A and B are shown apart, each in its own frame.
Chain A
Amino acid sequence: GDSVTQMEGPVTLSEEAFLTINCTYTATGYPSLFWYVQYPGEGLQLLLKATKADDKGSNKGFEATYRKETTSFHLEKGSVQVSDSAVYFCALSDKTSGSRLTFGEGTQLTVNP
């Protein structure tokens, strides 16, 4: 079945550092890929998405590129801020599995001033 694997966390960075959170996936079909973010005490918010190979999703300075050859969708940001501290979830949706989202484990990011 479908699965998503994220890099082990938590991740702690200083403000203005470069961020990478790795995400790889396994899917039977041709999935759409998503990054969701969960700020403390809040629900999951869609951060960005990509629906086909080589698509780049971007939002709020975050980027991720759909790499079919490496089955990856790594999240990057050039300069993190304290306000980026949250849990980040990689997820996929595969039409062969209906409309469900399959999530990775989540990565806790803490950015220190």
Chain B
Amino acid sequence: EPEVTQTPSHQVTQMGQEVILRCVPISNHLYFYWYRQILGQKVEFLVSFYNNEISEKSEIFDDQFSVERPDGSNFTLKIRSTKLEDSAMYFCASSEGTAPPTQYFGPGTRLTVL
């Protein structure tokens, strides 16, 4: 069964460093998403991406964040200058469409900012 994959499973970085989280969505999916879950809190939407551009973003997704689909298979989330409060589990998801959006999630990348 096709699945969303994410690398790395755990990333440790120093405050102020740039990190890139990688995702490989399901191959025939067209819509891509990033969510995050800070420990003990809700899963929160960050951004959705379709047709090589951001279709929607939350208030969390500020100028420190960017997303890219650098080739036909990868979908990346970049955090330019990490802060302690960026420590969280980051989930990538993909879907075929948006009505309703049955989104399939990856296993997540745990980001720890020291």
Distance of A102 Cα from B33 Cα, bound (Å): 13
Interface string of A50-88 (1 = CB under 8 A from B): 010000000000000000000000000000000000000
A17 to chain B, nearest CB (A): 26
* Bound-state Cα–Cα, A34 to B31, Å: 18
Contacts of A91 in B (CB 8 A): 43
Q: Is B91 an interface residue (CB 8 A)?
A: yes
A43/B100 contact (C-beta < 8 A), A99-B31, A103-B42 known: no
The reply to whether the CB of B13 lies closer than 8 angstroms to some CB of chain A is no
Query: Is B104 part of the contact surface with A, judged by Cβ < 8 Å?
Result: yes
Report the number of A-B residue pairs with Cβ-Cβ less than 8 Å.
Answer: 61
Which residues of A are found within 8 Å of B93, using beta-carbon distances? 44
* CB-contact partner of B100 in A42, A51, A106, under 8 A: A51
Residue A112 is within 8 A (CB to CB) of chain B in the complex: no
Output the least CB separation between B66 and chain A (Å).
18
Distance between Cα atoms of A105 and B43 in the complex (Å):
8
Q: Is the CB of B43 within 8 A of A42?
A: no
- Among A45, A89, A101, A103, contact of B101 (Cβ-Cβ < 8 Å): A101
> What is the number of residues of chain A that contact chain B, defined by CB distance less than 8 Å?
24
Q: Flag B89-100 by CB within 8 Å of A: 1 or 0 each.
A: 001010100111
Distance between Cα atoms of A51 and B98 in the complex (Å): 12
The smallest beta-carbon distance between A101 and chain B, in angstroms, is: 6
Complex: how many Å from CA A51 to CA B91?
Answer: 24
**Binary A-proximity of B40-57 (CB < 8 A = 1, otherwise 0):** 011111001000000110
Interface residues of B in 72-108 (CB under 8 A from A): 91, 93, 95, 98-108
Give the chain B neighbours of A100 by CB distance below 8 A. 33, 45, 48, 56, 58
- CA–CA, A105 to B38, complex, Å? 11
In the bound complex, what is the Cα–Cα distance between A99 and B48 (angstroms)? Answer: 8
Using CB atoms and an 8 Å cutoff, list the residues of chain A in contact with chain B. Answer: 32, 34, 36, 41-46, 49, 51, 89, 91, 93, 95, 98-106
A-B contact pairs, 18 of them (CB 8 A): A32-B100, A32-B101, A36-B105, A43-B6, A43-B105, A43-B106, A45-B105, A46-B102, A46-B104, A93-B100, A98-B98, A99-B31, A99-B48, A99-B98, A100-B56, A101-B33, A101-B45, A106-B42
